[in-house]
Structure 1
């Protein structure tokens, strides 16, 4: 049973890792050979590139309808939009703030420890000219023509349109309407298609990395390792530094000790299952054992499993910083600010969407590397898969800690002391 659960949780990650390593080895022992004049003598492992191209093209084709139908369906089929709005109003602010803190902190780490230390002569397109901030904001939300909306190069405008469509469905009957049921069924159909495509992913990544290493050399492997080690280490640092501060803010000095006495279980569960949703029962139990009011846990923890993703916020910064390094771009100024905004947005707004992680990565490369998507997207996707365990650990364990902050705003700053006083009274009454 343990072995079965392990393979269920980590089987795909292991397959991806084996495929990437195998591809890197093949690319290393079968490199591209060029003559002094720059002409190619032997194509080496680049002959395997079509394996990767096939996977990338399949994903590009399915991701647009996936985003449109899944977001529209999620909003259009809400049972109680008024209650949902009230819940969002009391908790989403905390999610945004902690996600912003995580993104900023990890950006600082990326400036101190750059994930890429080598230079690469990448030829997949050219870096576009820098556009103005106002135009960037316009492009962030809209496109000039309806036909341009359904393109992988306009993911954020598509998300905005999907949100409006969802509210339109809600106003026309919601889940009971014909359109609501159709969108719900289409979402299920598309996710099954995505699952089928995903089975091919290890083969695609094998071909992609074999070609990449054959072309650009083994230096790329070292940069990947550097990025992964930095992220894994910082996730634990973040958990043992930021979480106590959040617990102190939410529950005072006592909150720190209570939090640490219960944190291990949800952290291990999340790391082992790679699922925030699977950690909800454990989070519920430890939160209630900690004295967090039940009505708070019933709202914050299920919402947090899909909308509170500090680890995902940090991973978005890692992917952008890594790609900026790969393409030799300067990751400072307005681009850094935009990356942080997108990181927070993708962690809060898209993590609960089916396939949201892949969508977030596509949004990142669309915004910053529109002419290098064939290279940038699989690199970002591979990083996302390899850092999933620690990212989920920070995401899910953070849900438990955030419940302390929400409890403070709903029950007062002394809520934890009051809960502690209730137990002796109950025992005395009995």
Structure 2
């Protein structure tokens, strides 16, 4: 009797288009939140499960990949880390300046409300830099557990350098371990349609659209700035680097990385997605195994836009006079501060008081601005993360394909 060659439902799902499956998940989540909001809130457990699985495996993946990449690096083998870092820096600065220009062209005002923000915000740029430096020497096990990617990268680099003198069997073992974890990550990523279904259903059922309507102008300024970076600035930087048409790469990264990041709202959780995309693009593994987790920590164009736009909206609301050079100084501070924002949902919002202090805005009012950020976060933070995360791959690919 001949064996059936008809693929099972599971096989069809695993071999199907992930983007199409995610779109179906989004539509189903929206429908469920509209028809049965209470069930939509309960479906949030699927989203929480997916994001927690990504966050759980991502630190281990990054640590093992970086160690294996550095340990197996040949002495004369070329990497592209330096040009990627340059693109990260330039891209973030351009994003902050763009946010200033959009804020001046389309000034926004806020309806400041009293609120209680439980998390503390940094009180100065020195505190941000202090945190970055000391995160580098965090206990390596604690760094993996807490998702401290600066610490993970630091210790992984040192251990990888040490293993460069190990025998070939040890190096092969590390590479096999990296491949095994990558396989596990691939399975987790295939859960994205179910996770995003739960995230969408829970978010819309809980928040609704009413809270966003009163801040539609502010959201348009934020999203407009981010779209300018995604569709104009980033392609221009890619073109100047590669001398090739940038849009096929840009659209592929937005489709594959941006959509997932939009709904997970976490650059850290999207690291495995970006790793898989870099492998699909056939980029240099020695480069992207370092540049992608590093980008999730310091490449924060979207965060720089959020900090700048919300701060200038507060300045405009309070009728505080500000000239363009001062606003540019704000953009530089925003760009530097953005590198210190955590790779989790809402991480950039807690740096707004730092920027507000430049205009002597009291901390009580600044924290109200943070509260506004949380209200619009269902759109703002999603778009910010999509820009941040997709840009990590775009700039890594541009550096690897540099002419």
Unmatched 5+ residue regions in structure 1? Answer: 1-6, 32-42, 248-258, 282-300, 344-359, 370-374, 404-430
- Following superposition, the deviation at residue 67 of structure 1 comes to 1.8
**Residue number in structure 2 paired with 1:127:** 119
- Find the structure with the greater CA-based Rg: 1
Aligned residues: 321
In structure 2, what is the Cα distance between the partners aligned to 1:159 and 1:94? 18
- Please list every run of 5 or more consecutive structure 2 residues that lacks an aligned counterpart in the other structure: 1-12, 257-276, 316-326, 352-374
* Corresponding position of 2:271: none
The residue that corresponds to 2:26 in the other structure is: 20
Report what 1:184 is aligned to. 175
Q: Distance in 1 between matches of 2:116 and 2:285?
A: 42
User: Is the CA contact (8 Å cut-off) linking 2:241 and 2:398 kept in structure 1?
Assistant: no
1:164 counterpart residue number = 158
Given candidates 227, 234, 244, the residue that maps to 2:229 is: 234
* Aligned equivalent of 1:72: 67
Alpha-carbon offset, residue 155 of structure 1: 2.4
- Residue 207 of structure 2 is aligned to residue 216 of structure 1: yes
Residues 58-115 of structure 1: per-residue CA shift (max 9 Å, x gap) = 223222221221111111122x2x324xx45xx654433333211111122334457x
Task: Give the Cα–Cα distance (whole angstroms) in 1 for the partners of residues 398 and 286 of structure 2.
Answer: 13
Q: Of 25, 33, 42, which residue of structure 2 is paired with 1:47?
A: 42
- TM-score, structure 1 length as denominator? 0.55
Cα distance between partner residues in 1 of 2:84 and 2:309: 29
Alignment of 1:317 with 2:317, yes or no, is no
Question: Structure 2 matches for 1:101-116, cutoff 5 A?
Answer: 101-113=90-102
Q: 1:392 offset after TM fit, Å? A: 5.6
Deviation at 1:234, TM superposition (A): 3.3
Q: Check conservation: 2:50, 2:195, Cα contact below 8 A.
A: yes
Does residue 149 of structure 1 match 2:160? Answer: no
Distance 1:65 1:140, change over 3 A: same
Partner of 1:56: 51
Cα distance change of structure 1 residues 272 and 201 upon mapping to structure 2, 3 Å threshold:
closer
Q: Is the 8 A contact 1:315 1:384 kept in 2?
A: no
- Provide, for residues 321-352 of structure 1, a one-character-per-residue CA deviation record: whole Å limited to 9, x for no partner: 559989x9999578724345469xxxxxxxxx
Q: 2:198 aligns with which of 194, 207, 211?
A: 207
Task: State how far apart, in whole Å, the 2-side matches of 1:117 and 1:11 are.
Answer: 42
Q: Which residue in the other structure is 2:370 paired with?
A: none
Q: Residues 363 and 56 (structure 1 numbering): CA distance in 2 closer, same or farther, change over 3 Å?
A: closer
- Structure 1 residues 92 and 126, CA, compared in 2 at 3 Å: closer, same or farther? same
SS in structure 2 opposite 1:128?
Answer: coil
Q: Deviations over 1:108-158 (max 9, x none)?
A: 2334457x998899x998322426245323333122x45523313422212
Q: Residue 360 of structure 2 aligns with which residue? A: none
- Distance (Å, rounded) in 1 between the aligned partners of 2:192 and 2:250: 24
Retained in 1: the 8 A contact 2:91–2:234? Answer: no
Q: Does 1:99 align with 2:83?
A: no
In 2, the alpha carbon distance for the partners of 1:181 and 1:366 equals 40
Partner of 2:367 in structure 1? none
Q: Partners in 2 of 1:117 and 1:21 — Cα distance?
A: 33
Matches of 2:226 and 2:63 in 1, distance apart?
31
Determine the C-alpha separation between the residues in 2 that align with 1:124 and 1:62.
33
TM-score, scaled to structure 2: 0.58
DSSP 3-state at the match of 2:159: helix
1:298-338 CA distance string (max 9 Å, x none): xxx898777889x9999732256559989x99995787243
Residue 379 of structure 1 and its aligned partner are, at CA, apart by 8.9
Q: What's the counterpart of residue 356 of structure 2? A: none
Change (3 A) 1:277 1:62: closer
